Amino acid sequence: MDITGIAKSHPTNITAAGKASSRKEWKLSDSLREKITEYAREDAAQNVYMGNKFLTLRKSEVAKVAPDRASPRFPADWGEAS
Please give the residue range of the domain that contains residue 44. 28-66
Q: Is residue 41 part of a domain?
A: yes
Q: Is residue 17 part of a domain?
A: no
C-alpha pair distances (Å), 61 with each of 18, 23, 79: 29, 14, 32
Q: Is residue 80 part of a domain?
A: no
Per-residue pLDDT of the chain (82 residues; tens, 9 = 90+): 555 655 555 555 555 544 555 556 778 889 999 999 999 999 999 999 999 999 999 998 888 887 666 666 665 555 555 4
Q: Is residue 58 part of a domain?
A: yes
pTM passes above 0.85:
no
Q: Of 28, 32, 64, 61, whose CA–CA distance to 40 is shortest? A: 32
Q: Is residue 72 part of a domain?
A: no
**Quick check: 81 and 75 in contact, CB under 8 A?**
yes
pLDDT value for 18: 47
Domains of the chain: total = 1
Q: Is residue 1 part of a domain?
A: no
* Spatial CB neighbours of 43, under 8 Å, sequence gap ≥ 6: 49, 50, 51, 53, 54
The CA distance from 38 to 9, in Å, is 51
